[in-house]
Amino acid sequence: MKNSTIGFVGAGNMANSLIRGLLAKGMHSSSLWACDIDELKLAQLQNECRINIGTMDQLAGSADVILLAVKPQVMAEACTALASSLGDRQAMIISIAAGITTDQLRRWLGDDTALVRCMPNTPSLIGKGASGLYANSNVSDEQRSIAETIMNAVGMSVWVNEENDIDTVTAVSGSGPAYFFLFMEAMQNSAKEMGLSDELARALVYQTAAGAAELAISSPDHLEELRRRVTSPGGTTEKAISEFESGKLRELVGRSLKAARDRSVELAQESKN
């Protein structure tokens, strides 16, 4: 990783977060490149982070690892241009575009390309992300380590052995923040309906969610045990949990995640057409 040069095709929010995360982890700005059709984005990135900016040809001629951080609908065009710029030069390609499969990337970039498909989520923007990664057979152990180090700069990452599992990762962590936002929103609205001010309801809900997550992360116990400890027999928590259970919350969550996974599969199929 120390001797690697990393290039970003696209300089949007996720690329910005990864670049800043890598710099915060000690990577030198001279080892980072970015190109984008938006020159203002590039100028701001260079001014604030002191990285290299340039054309696709310049990036392809310098980078050992190239992250594709463009929208799915322009991925084919970006990959075709990148393949032309790379020529015979080998580089590991990491895609963070939703719904773009490694088969598609291979067709655009070449059969021998080392490809990593990654599904990050929006908390990556504040260094608290969760990313799922899948590598094709051309990716070496060293390259896998580099890819993991890059994504860990904005949170944590896990590898899946089958590309289909990326669809499940999308349903769990990719879309997951929105599920928690919805639950927090419902709690906040209910607290306001019961008399708390908007400010007080928001503060309590936000801190409770953050505290519960941190407790779960730091505790060696399973979630079931943590829940049991809070749920005193005959108490307020038990009453609320009973309402959730009678409303079949678990089944609803299961159906919702399956629906998200199935939609991820559909989007991948649609992108092939």
CATH, residue 251: 1.10.3730.10
Residue type (1 letter), 162:
E
Output the pLDDT for position 271.
74
Task: Mark out the alpha helices in the chain (DSSP H runs).
Answer: 13-24, 39-49, 56-62, 75-86, 102-109, 141-152, 165-169, 176-193, 198-218, 223-230, 236-246, 249-272
- Whether residue 149 sits in one domain with residue 35: yes
Plot region of 127 (φ>0 → left; ψ -120 to 50 → alpha; else → beta)? left
- What does DSSP assign to residue 31? G
Same domain, 65 and 133: yes
Verify that 193 and 113 share a domain, yes or no. no
Q: Are residues 26 and 157 in the same domain?
A: yes
Q: Which residues of 214-241 are buried (b: 16+ CB within 10 A; e: fewer)?
A: eeeeeeeeeeeeeeeeeeeeeeeeeeeb
143/92 same-domain check: yes
pLDDT at 108: 96
55 located within any domain: yes
Q: What is the pLDDT of residue 19?
A: 97
CA distances from 56 to 31, 35, 66, 92, 265 (A): 16, 6, 11, 15, 31
| Ordered per-residue pLDDT tens for the chain, 273 residues | 668 999 999 999 999 999 999 999 999 999 999 999 999 999 999 999 999 999 999 999 999 999 999 999 999 999 999 999 999 999 999 999 988 999 999 999 999 999 999 999 999 999 999 999 999 999 999 999 999 999 999 999 999 999 999 999 999 999 999 999 999 999 999 999 999 999 999 999 999 999 999 999 999 999 999 999 999 999 999 999 999 999 999 999 999 999 999 999 998 888 776
Is 96 found in the same domain as 149?
A: yes
Coil vs helix vs strand at 166:
helix
Same domain for 68 and 180?
A: no
Residue 121 is assigned to a structural domain of this protein: yes
Residue 1 within a domain: no
Put residue 50 in one of left, alpha, beta given phi > 0 → left and psi -120 to 50 → alpha. left
CATH number of 129's domain: 3.40.50.720
What is the model's pLDDT at position 1?
Answer: 64
What's this model's pTM, rounded to 2 decimal places? 0.90
| pLDDT (0 to 100) of residue 2 | 67
Residue 248 structural domain: 176-268
49 & 129 share domain: yes
Q: Is residue 119 part of a domain?
A: yes
| Number of domains forming the structure of the chain | 2
